[in-house]
Amino acid sequence: MTHNLVIQSLAPLSDAHHKPLLALSRGTRIVQTDDHALRIDNANPAQRLDIDAYCGTHALDFAFVEAGLTLGDFGLAVMDMDSTLITIECIDEIADFCGLKTQVAEITEASMRGEIRDFNESLTRRVALLAGLDAHALERVYEERLQLSPGAEKMLAGVKAAGMKTLLVSGGFTFFTERLKARLGLDYAHANTLEIVDGKLTGKVLGEIVNAEVKARLLRETCASLGLEPSRAIAMGDGSNDLKMMAEAGLSVAFHAKPVVRDAATVAFDHVGLDGLLRLF
């Protein structure tokens, strides 16, 4: 199988990278695809460690991509929400409204790094701290703090133009996923439901918790409903709760991710936005 190496940068790519990258990758030629990306044909994936070291030094992102593969070969784009499609962790920002952001964020970070193995326990502990908070805080987080990640809208436009369906699957909350689904024209969205009684959070989640296993199952089920093999899905995420979902997909993207996720993914974007996906093909 022949591979090409795609190099991307937030800043315009200097020609000075051409010669060392061509040598390191053992490729046959360089094609500058735009000011921020280039492709090296017939690159050797066995050179990954050397390429990783070079790109890490120069703030570049890289990906070995099967030659001839196109975005149209895939049928479903699956995205995590918090710190992937959007820039924040919603639960941490909700906690800020009751003065508990530090405590909740510490649990969030440990869970994302994979240090708390049981996501259900992690989420239950964090949500319990929110008991008694006015539900209006959710609206304030959405209106005042939630921002899309760089390149999100461009990426979504590109995958839709390629005929792909879109699935937002989150260990966060339906309050946010449903609004994003409507705003961005996504096809499917799944997340956890916060219990609200008399306008206040009870500190409980209703129904099945969307953990790593559920995310992977939702990817498989959505593919099946579309008549697709999971190998025709692209999955994007940043934390350990995304690993099983990403393992199901034909292409996985670690987006500004924790090391455990970066190491497991097909592609890692440490610098560029989500629209970097479109430059891979």
| Residue boundaries of the structural domains of the chain | 1-68
118 in active site: no
- CATH fold of 1-68, please? Alpha-Beta Plaits (3.30.70)
Q: Are 239 and 258 in contact (CB under 8 A)?
A: yes
- In this model, does residue 114 exceed pLDDT 80? no
Tell me the per-residue pLDDT of 251-267, one tens digit each, with 9 for 90 and over: 999 999 999 999 999 99
Query: Which residue in 61, 80, 92, 275 is the catalytic one?
Result: 80
pLDDT number for residue 218: 99
Percent of the chain with pLDDT over 70: 100
132 backbone φψ class: left, alpha, beta (φ>0; ψ -120 to 50): left
- Give 172's Cβ-side CA count (13 Å radius): 32
Query: Which residue in 15, 35, 52, 82 is the catalytic one?
Result: 82
82 in active site: yes
Please choose, from the candidates 209, 205, 211, 266, the residue with its C-alpha nearest in 3D space to the C-alpha of residue 239. Answer: 211
Tell me the per-residue pLDDT of 165-179, one tens digit each, with 9 for 90 and over: 999 999 999 999 999
Is this prediction's pTM over 0.85? yes
